[in-house]
Every structure is written in C-alpha cells, then in structure tokens.
Amino acid sequence: MKKKLMLAISMILIGLLLCVLWVRQRSYVMEAEILSRKMIESIQNSRELFGADTQTVLYVDGVQVPFEKQEGRYYISRNMDETYWKGNLTATADGQMLSVVWLEDEAFFDIRSAITSSHVFQCMIYNDTAYQVADVLFTGLPVMSIDGRMGDSGTRITLLDPMFSINGGYEVLQSNAYYNIRGNASKRFEKLGYRVELFYDDGSAGRDESLLGMRSDNDWHLKALYSDRSKLRDKLSIELWNQIAERTDTKADTGCKMEYLELLINGEYRGLYGLVEPTDYKSLELDKNRDLIYKMAADVWPNDAMFDESEAAQSFSCGGVNIRQSTKTYYPGIWEPFRTFWNSGYEMASEEDLRTLYTCIDRQNFIEYDLYYNVIAGMDNRFKNIIYSTVFNPDGTYLIRRIPWDQNYSWGDDFNKVDEDVKNIRYNPELAKRWFNEEVFRNMQAYDETLAEDMLETWKNWRGDFLKEEIWKEYARMQMNLLIDSGAFSRDTIRWPDSENLAGTEEIVSYIDVRFQWLDNYLQELAEQ
C-alpha cells in the first residue's frame, strides 16, 4: 500500500513539473518572458525611449546577435526540429545590462510557419528609465555576421548555431577574423564568395574552431551558391563524393564538407551561403613536409616548356596548376610527380606510357573519379576543379589521387554562352544521356583492356549500395525543404533576383530518373565491347 502511495505521489509530482515546464515554455522564449500588450504599454508609459545615440544590443548566450541595418532587425537562428526553446537572450544599452521581454504574438505557437514566412517578432529592452522595441526574425539556419573591412585582421565574426552541437546546446562563436574575396569565376557576380580566417583575441593566427559540426580549423570558405538556382548541386555533389571516399582505405581522397547558413556583412544581408571546410593537407592527413597537393584551377594546359620555366623560376604555379604551399619552401623536383603524371597521362602514346602512369596514380581512384563526375555530369570537373593528392612513400615513390571541388555545374546544369556576362548556366536535360570523358581517362581506355570491366564492377557495387535513385532524390528533397522551411531560400531570392532561384527539386529528380539507368546501360555495353 505504501509503495502504491509513493508511486502515486511521484506521478503527481512529475505531472506538476511537466505542467510547470509547459506553462513556462508558452510564456518564455529563450529565457525572456512573453508579456501582454497591456503590460508592455504599462512599462512604456513610465519610461522614455532611449536616445538615438544610445547603443542597444541583443545577445544570445553572451554573443552579439547579427543585426541587419536596412530593415532594422536582428537575426536569431533556431533549430526547427526542436519543440523547445534553447539559448539565453539578454540585452545591453551602452554596455549596461537591461531587461528584455517579448511582445505577445500568436506566431510563437506556430513557430515553424513563422520562420518559413519570415514573420518579424518584437521584443522590448528596458531599464528603470528608458526602453526600446526591437524587431527580431527567427531563421531556421545558422546565421553568421562579419563586421569589419575586407583584408583587415581586426574584423569580428559572429556565428549562432542551434543545430549542429554534439551536446544539443546552442553553439555561439565570436572571434577576430580576416576575410577576402574567394573564387575567380564568381568575382563577376554581384554576390561574392569569401575566405575567412579566424584569429585569437590577441591577434595571433591559427585559432581552430569547429563550425556547424565540421572539423576544427581556422580557415573556412563561404560559397555564394549564386549560379545554382536550386542551391543544391554543390551540397549533393559533396555528399556523393564523401560517400565514395568513405568506402576507400585511405584518407588521402577525402573531400570537404558543407553546411548552409545565412550571412550578414557589416549589417547588410548577403543571403544564403554554404560554409565549406577546405580540402587540404590536414583533411587529407598528408605530411606537409613530404606530400604534395596539386590543384588544377584553370583551363590552361601545362607543357614541358612551362614546367621548365616554373622550375627555373622556383614557382608554385605552372599553367592552370598550382601547388598548395602550406609551410613548404620550393625545392628542385617539386614539379616532377605532376610532370610525370601529365606527360604519361595527357600525352600518352603507348603502353609504356600507360605503365609509367600506373606507377604514379591510384588506378581505382581514377576509375571512381571518372564515374563520379559522370554521375553528376560535372561539366567543370573533367579537366579543372581537381585536387591531386600526392602521397610519397619512404622509398621516394608516390601515388596521385583525384578529388573534386567546386561542383556547381552539375546534376543537369550546363554552360549557356548567351548569358555568359551575367550567369552562364541553365538546366539541360540532354546531359542525362551523354557520356563525359577527359584526356587521361580516354587514353587509359585506349590501352587498358580491363578498364571497362573494372569500371562496371565498381559501378555495380555502388548501385547495390549507396547509389540508388530514391536515396538521392530524397536527399535533394530534404535539403530543399530545409532551405524553404528556414525562410532562407525566399530571402535569398528577394536579395538576389538575378540568380533566378528555383524552389523545388523537379529538375534534379528528373535528371536522376534518367541518368542512373542510362549509365547502367552504357557501362554494361562498354564492358561487352
């Protein structure tokens, strides 16, 4: 009897606790109380507005909330998959702590719809004598602000992230930083890509931080996603390559990761971006002093004369190829691995050249890379936008692997020369039924009698594992839903109308429906020839 009584009391107490939490959840947002308009007016009637010269600021967990100047509103990130509020909202005026409360708003009880529709909430910050009402927009994506002059190491970066924390908390970051424009091709667009480097408060370099659940690093890239109307193609392409690389026995072919965020720079809303961790010596687990990374960044083919010139000038560039320097200093022979690969691969004229090529490349990796850019119809990844990860063995031999980057011309998008000065990309359904090749792999096929069979075997393994139509169609839909539901896709569309954003996955889904099966047939026929 006593046990039953204790159990009943425990259940009652748990119920009361849940009721208290439910009431608090409906009356508090980020630890700030929701007040009726009558109560708000009562506070206002006994106070004056803060003067125009008073600097009022909102904070989440002690980090300043990004403020957009044109519309005059704060951007706060919220995890739409959670039904509870996390993070602590506070405020200051000229550095002095204030009280902060929310004005009652029915939209708090349908927060997902409010986020999608970019509904603007209001909060009031006040002390004993003055008050101010501030507009707040909740976004369903992490939000970053950069404040400072480009090229100035005194810049400050702020990041609010309630989504990717491994402990489920509200991750916030404020750091000294440096930023500049990144991406030669994107410079002709008004919406720019950026490189961001994090610094310690004392100005010293090398502050490594894990951002949006990705690796800990001080060097980050912000992709503008301007030329892709769907904003999905880089994301899908990166995820696909990572699925491929995860199934190999080396880290030397690992790709990057990317997560979405919204960006403000000096109070100006810049739109939807992809935060990308770079592919470098660290991510590939290469030895900075021994191994090499060659990067094919432009359609300028090197030749022996160019290699000789680069070696004579002790240059880290040759034609469209660059060497990622990291901490390296030039040494004689630094171009020799790539030169050997180039002359035996691109200039292949015999089986002897093929044998030379196979002493310096990972043949299976080249098969996987060729199949990969054919899956995505990577128009810009056949010759350029390739990283050559070069691992040296103790005996001086080396192995070169291909890794893709910058895959926005993909999943059916094609060059469109008519609009080259504005945005030279359009969806082309004909790409779903076309085999794409490049010089090295074409030469390999000419001299390697078993290559087609090995390609087919790799393809069938993929098709039985991760490369199924529904997997990638669903992944595209999931990412598009995130962008739309977060409100970010709509805001980016308004901010950058020339980008011609296209909500939905119809193009990509129709491409996948045709492309995968077409490659099934093509590779089977190729192996049977």
Helix axes 451-463, 506-528, angle to 10 degrees: 140
Number of domains in the chain: 2
The DSSP 8-state label assigned to residue 361 in this structure reads B
Same domain, 127 and 91: yes
Residue 306 belongs to some domain of the structure: no
Q: What is the pLDDT of residue 26?
A: 56
Residue 300 belongs to some domain of the structure: no
Same domain, 54 and 133: yes
Q: What is the pLDDT of residue 309?
A: 97
If DSSP states are collapsed to H, E and C, what string results for 438-472? CHHHHHHHHHCCCHHHHHHHHHHHHHCCCCCHHHH
Q: What is the pLDDT of residue 418?
A: 57
Residue 317 belongs to some domain of the structure: no
Q: What is the pLDDT of residue 13?
A: 44
Rounded mean pLDDT of 242-271?
96
**Which tokens sit at 483?**
């962008």
Burial of 232 (0-12, 13-18, 19+ CB in 10 A): buried
133-157 pLDDT, tens digit each: 999 999 999 999 999 999 888 899 9
- What are the DSSP calls for 259-314, one per residue? EEEEEEETTEEEEEEEEE---STTTTT--TTT-EEEEE-SS----HHHHHHHHHHT
Domain final residue, candidates 105, 138, 171: 138
Overall residue count recorded for the chain in this entry: 529
State pTM to two decimals. 0.92
Of the pLDDT bands very low, low, confident and very high (cuts 50, 70, 90), residue 22 is very low
Q: How high does pLDDT run on average in the chain?
A: 92
Share of the chain above pLDDT 70, in %: 92
Same domain, 70 and 176: no
Residue 122 pairs with which residues in a beta bridge? 135
Same domain, 128 and 158: no
Q: What is the pLDDT of residue 416?
A: 76
Residue 50 belongs to some domain of the structure: yes
User: 67 by DSSP, 3-state: which?
Assistant: strand
Same domain, 149 and 223: yes
> Cα(first)–Cα(last) distance of the chain, in Å?
83
Rounded mean pLDDT of 31-59?
96
Same domain, 153 and 67: no
Q: What is the pLDDT of residue 190?
A: 86
CA distances from 122 to 32, 36, 519 (A): 12, 12, 54
Residue 79 belongs to some domain of the structure: yes
Same domain, 254 and 199: yes
Share of the chain above pLDDT 90, in %: 85
* Separation CA 314–CA 409 (nearest Å): 34
Same domain, 108 and 172: no
Same domain, 157 and 252: yes
Residue 290 belongs to some domain of the structure: no
Domain final residue, candidates 98, 113, 138: 138
Query: Whose CA is closest to 384, among 360, 403, 365?
Result: 403
Same domain, 149 and 260: yes
Of the pLDDT bands very low, low, confident and very high (cuts 50, 70, 90), residue 182 is confident
Tell me how crowded residue 264 is: count the other CB atoms within 10 A of its CB.
20
Of the pLDDT bands very low, low, confident and very high (cuts 50, 70, 90), residue 21 is very low
Residue 14 has pLDDT above 80, yes or no: no
Q: Report how many helices (DSSP H) and strands (DSSP E) the chain contains, helices first.
A: 13, 27
Same domain, 42 and 126: yes
Q: What is the pLDDT of residue 488?
A: 98
Same domain, 190 and 175: yes
* Separation CA 372–CA 352 (nearest Å): 27
Per the CB < 8 A criterion, the answer to whether 27 and 34 are in contact is yes
Per the CB < 8 A criterion, the answer to whether 472 and 239 are in contact is no
Residue 491 belongs to some domain of the structure: no
Domain final residue, candidates 138, 168, 201: 138
Per the CB < 8 A criterion, the answer to whether 381 and 368 are in contact is no
For tokens 């300043």, name the residue: 64
348-397 pLDDT, tens digit each: 999 999 999 999 999 999 999 999 999 999 989 999 999 999 999 999 99
394-423 pLDDT, tens digit each: 999 999 999 999 998 999 999 876 555 445
Query: Whose CA is closest to 76, among 46, 111, 52?
Result: 111
The DSSP 8-state label assigned to residue 205 in this structure reads B
Domain ranges, residue 121: 28-138
Residue 129 belongs to some domain of the structure: yes
